[in-house]
Structure 1
């Protein structure tokens, strides 16, 4: 697994989005189990934790059992009108979340990765991109 930060170019007083990627390179590692303590901690912050297209295995019950405060979590899923890129941009533009976590499991979502790497924001929101390369 590799984690690194990607910073975009600064433009017109906006700050680059801090983008951290977690990449799963082997099926031997269960990222959900590894993420649970972090999700629980992030849900204790003052503003919203936004989870964009989390795996179906991360049910509300699983999250609650791991200590995640569901009152401070938004779970967003794509639909015909809203793709991952649009949902991510709306969450970031709202400025009401401290962390946006995006699960990227489909090669069709590669545009989202490129877009996030170029994103400029006016808030303190950080982004975690979780994806599999197996």
Structure 2
């Protein structure tokens, strides 16, 4: 299982014996950098996470880090690796008393060291969403915001 920490990000590495499916590499394009995409899901359907696996696998193929901020469920490393996600590039961030999901997401997007930041922030105001888009442009990163319908 993937573990969380509240301090510095932790690099997640797959076990050496795990089989990784062959996935076509993602073509790097500056056209997709600096944008935020929203995915709206039913609140009670975390079982839809497997539907996101191909997207997550594609996003993990860049040379930069792939950051996940506050995912709602802890998925086994074997499941992620079998889906083609390069776990050596994934950093999990968990909010704490000093850092909200929004703050961590904005900082990760703005840093420029992350290809993509996927976040589950709950409710975001229009101003916060605009700030995430500005941070994504500044860091040439792609943000993916996953929210439930009642938070959209």
TM-score by length of 2: 0.65
2:124 is the counterpart of 1:110: yes
Coordinate RMSD, CA, aligned = 2.4
Aligned-pair CA distance for 1:96: 0.6
Question: Is the Cα contact below 8 Å between 1:17 and 1:117 reproduced in 2?
Answer: no
Tell me the distance in 1 between the aligned counterparts of 2:118 and 2:43.
20
Q: Which residue of 1 aligns with 2:105?
A: 88
Greater Cα offset, 24-33 or 52-61: 24-33
Structure with greater proportional strand content: 1
Residue ranges of structure 1 left out of the alignment (5+ in a row): 1-15
Give the drift of 1:47: 0.8
Give the alignment's TM-score, normalised by structure 1. 0.72
Tell me the residue number matched to 1:34: 51
Q: 1:61 to 1:82 in 2, by over 3 A?
A: farther
After TM superposition, where is structure 1 displaced by more than 4 Å over at least 4 residues in a row?
A: 26-29
CA positional deviation for 1:26: 6.9
Tell me whether 1:128 sits opposite 2:128 in the alignment: no
Size of the alignment, in residue pairs?
A: 115
Q: Which deviates the most, 120-129 or 27-36?
A: 27-36
